[in-house]
């Protein structure tokens, strides 16, 4: 099996390393548009910009020509899009325009398209309608609690591949289910993708609470009530609420809201310290998807008639309409109600 990963950021590099450790030399290809970045990886054996300290397998193939990265794949191979959510639409469109046969396509990004509030699989379906030229491609989302640094170092990790295609799920498991990584299969794309989007917003909220020194009781309340919001929206959007109790819901939420490697949690901590959002994001140096999709999740919730007070407060904080302190006051000042 051949595997191509598009995007040599931290997560794309980590997953390329995971596959390349167990597949044959040359079967795994990591593409980047930045030829100098790949030259550096070739020389040092590391992606020093995004995954420092992780030695990449010698058999990992590097490629800076997009067309070659795509056309090396057959109908039985796997294409993994490792760009941020903001790059998904453009990347899928370019892939489909080059496709000469059916492809198996998986994405790693988490979030919603800010301008449309579409989930990743809906963005892909839109591009498929425009560019597939009658070919029948298989699609899926690979998600779950995972820090790139730990995956790059070969530490234990469990993820979920969500797809309507059982054959695609088998391919993903064949590529990545090795060593300390387990891959579970699901057909609930809505539940898996919404869990991955909402947990980032809740991680910012948890970071704010920790930054304001509100205590562990407050963190537990944010995560528990945030999980309830997640389950309500998943159900209203056509997913299964029980998916939120798995790896891509509560599992990813716990990791992202409490782990020191979490970019979204670090955004919350910095907001609580009074730093302006542009400065926070500039210092972060990486994408924090919770910042980009908070408003979109709120729009989707409004459209579906779902109450999500924590998410709504985070959207106001991130847009500069509320300070973290005033958001807390509004949340704590809500009328009493039955837990649901």
Which CATH number characterizes residue 311's domain?
Answer: 1.10.1040.10
156 and 204 part of one domain: no
Q: Which residues contact 308 (CB under 8 A, 6 or more apart)?
A: 229, 232, 233, 297, 298, 301
The answer to the question of residue 339 being in a domain is: no
49 and 152 part of one domain: yes
Provide the pairing of β-strand 181-186 with 3-6. Answer: unpaired
CA–CA separation, 293 vs 197, rounded Å? 7
Look at residue 51 and give its three-state secondary structure: strand
How sure is the predictor about 229, in pLDDT bands with cuts at 50, 70 and 90? Answer: very high
183 and 200 part of one domain: no
Mean pLDDT of the chain: 95
Condensed to tens digits (0 to 9), the pLDDT of residues 252-283 reads 999 999 999 999 999 999 999 999 999 999 99
Domains contained in the chain, number: 2
CA–CA separation, 18 vs 198, rounded Å? 26
Q: Of 143, 162, 187, at which residue does a domain stop?
A: 187
179 and 31 part of one domain: yes
Give the predicted TM-score (pTM) of the model. 0.95
Q: Tell me what pLDDT residue 7 has.
A: 98
Q: Tell me what pLDDT residue 338 has.
A: 78
How sure is the predictor about 166, in pLDDT bands with cuts at 50, 70 and 90? Answer: very high
100 and 147 part of one domain: yes
Per the DSSP assignment, residues forming a β-bridge with 28 are 3
Q: Is the pLDDT at 333 greater than 90, yes or no?
A: no
The answer to the question of residue 71 being in a domain is: yes
The answer to the question of residue 122 being in a domain is: yes
The answer to the question of residue 338 being in a domain is: no
228 and 277 part of one domain: yes
Q: Of 147, 170, 187, at which residue does a domain stop?
A: 187
133 and 175 part of one domain: yes
Q: Tell me what pLDDT residue 196 has.
A: 97
> Percent of the chain beyond pLDDT 70?
100
Vertex 297: Cα angle to 293 and 302 (nearest 5): 150
Q: Is the pLDDT at 293 greater than 90, yes or no?
A: yes
Condensed to tens digits (0 to 9), the pLDDT of residues 5-47 reads 999 999 999 999 999 999 999 999 999 999 999 999 999 999 9
CA–CA separation, 211 vs 244, rounded Å? 26
Q: Of 137, 162, 187, at which residue does a domain stop?
A: 187
List the CATH number of the domain containing 175.
3.40.50.720
202 and 254 part of one domain: yes
CA–CA separation, 171 vs 169, rounded Å? 5
Active-site residue numbers? 199
The answer to the question of residue 337 being in a domain is: no
Question: Residue 142 belongs to what domain range?
Answer: 3-187
């Amino acid at each position: 099996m051949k595997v191509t990963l598009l995007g040599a950021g931290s997560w794309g590099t980590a997953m390329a390393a995971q596959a390349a450790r167990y597949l044959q030399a040359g079967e795994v290809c990591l593409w980047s548009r930045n030829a100098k970045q790949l030259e550096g990886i070739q020389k040092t054996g590391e992606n020093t910009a995004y995954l420092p300290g992780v030695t990449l397998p010698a058999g990992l193939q590097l490629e800076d020509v997009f067309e070659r990265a795509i056309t090396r794949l057959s109908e039985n191979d796997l294409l993994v899009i490792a760009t941020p959510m903001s790059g998904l639409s453009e990347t899928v469109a370019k892939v489909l325009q080059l496709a000469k046969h059916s492809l198996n396509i998986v994405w790693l990004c988490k979030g919603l398209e800010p301008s449309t509030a579409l989930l990743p699989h809906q963005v892909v379906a839109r591009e498929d309608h425009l560019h597939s030229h009658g070919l029948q491609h298989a699609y899926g989302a690979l998600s779950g609690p995972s820090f790139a640094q730990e995956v790059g170092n070969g530490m234990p990790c469990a993820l979920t591949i969500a797809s309507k295609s059982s054959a695609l799920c088998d391919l993903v498991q064949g590529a990545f289910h090795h060593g300390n990584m387990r891959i579970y299969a699901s057909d609930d794309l809505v539940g898996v993708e919404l869990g991955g989007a909402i947990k980032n917003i809740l991680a910012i909220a948890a970071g704010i609470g920790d930054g304001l020194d509100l205590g562990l009781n407050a963190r537990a309340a944010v995560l528990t009530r945030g999980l309830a919001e997640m389950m309500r929206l998943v159900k209203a959007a056509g997913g299964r609420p029980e998916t939120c109790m798995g790896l891509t819901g509560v599992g990813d939420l716990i990791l992202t809201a409490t782990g020191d490697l979490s970019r979204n949690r670090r955004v919350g901590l910095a907001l609580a310290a009074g730093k302006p959002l542009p400065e926070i994001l500039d210092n972060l140096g990486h994408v924090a998807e919770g910042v980009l999709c908070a408003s979109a999740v709120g729009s989707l919730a409004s459209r579906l008639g779902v109450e999500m007070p924590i998410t709504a407060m985070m959207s106001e904080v991130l847009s500069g309409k509320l300070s973290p302190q005033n958001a807390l006051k509004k949340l704590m000042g809500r009328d009493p109600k039955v837990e649901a």
